[in-house]
Amino acid sequence: MNPEVKIRKIDPGQPRKHDILEAARIVCSGGVVVFPTTSLYGLAADAANHAAVESVFAIKQRPPDKPILILVPNRRAIQNLVLDIPLAAERIMTAFWPGNLTLIFKAGSTLLPSLTAGTGKIGIRLPVYPVARLLVRAVGRPITATSANISGRIGCSRIADLDPAVAARVDLILDAGPLKGGSGSTILDVSKDPPVLLREGSISQNRILSVLQDR
């Protein structure tokens, strides 16, 4: 790990306000921060800053045809990011947001094309993990949340396992200790009718179906 990269040890449940604000300032100024989510560490950058998003692609060595999901500070924030919000999506968000559920919407015209990678869709999550939730709120606008790893390699649940090539190119690392790991959030495509489950995570298919079928 690059010794010049700043690392802040943080309490995952009650991080110090100073550390969150420092990370938010870096993101707002176009930098990239490694931060914890429920399962894995991610890369936070200003989702509206083209250069910052390109930095994330470069750090991850991510192919340009692979989209990047984003976190939002509140539900209202998605209105300017997507083409529409289907009724099914509204019901799912009410039931499970904030939470470990990423929803795939039809992307609005205001989003950077690199985020959608030409798919016309965008993955969005309202985070429940305290550090992620406080960070996106402090930034006040959407941030990237792709995993902090080289594309094609396993994501890290401990900073000790963070790829040195990633660590050397970020501006700050928020170390909340070991995370639970695993496959990450459940992913549901709500751009389709009915919605399509793309990945089952901590929120099960049965729980989602029960909400969609409840009249």
Give 171-197 pLDDT, tens digit per residue: 999 999 999 877 678 999 999 999 999
Whole-number average pLDDT of the chain? 94
pLDDT reported for residue 180 = 84
Q: Domain segments of the chain: what residues? A: 6-213
Beta-bridged to residue 199, according to DSSP, are 187
Percent of the residues in the chain that have a pLDDT greater than 90, as a whole number? 92
Q: Which residues touch 131 (CB under 8 Å, ≥6 apart)?
A: 10, 12, 15, 20, 35, 36, 37, 174, 176
pLDDT in tens, 153-178: 999 999 999 999 999 999 999 999 99
Percent of the residues in the chain that have a pLDDT greater than 70, as a whole number? 96
> What phi and psi, each to the nearest 5 degrees, are found at residue 94?
-60, -35
Closest C-alpha among 30, 59, 62 to residue 46: 30
Residue 1 has pLDDT above 50, yes or no: no
pLDDT reported for residue 2 = 44
At residue 102 the predicted structure's pLDDT band, cuts being 50, 70 and 90, is very high
Residue 215 has pLDDT above 90, yes or no: no
Beta-bridged to residue 43, according to DSSP, are 34, 146
pLDDT reported for residue 42 = 97
6-213 CATH, one of 1.10.10.10, 3.90.870.10, 2.40.10.10, 2.60.420.10? 3.90.870.10
Distances (CA, A) of 11 to 5, 16, 147: 19, 7, 20
pLDDT reported for residue 160 = 95
Residue 214 has pLDDT above 90, yes or no: no
Mean pLDDT of 34-51: 96
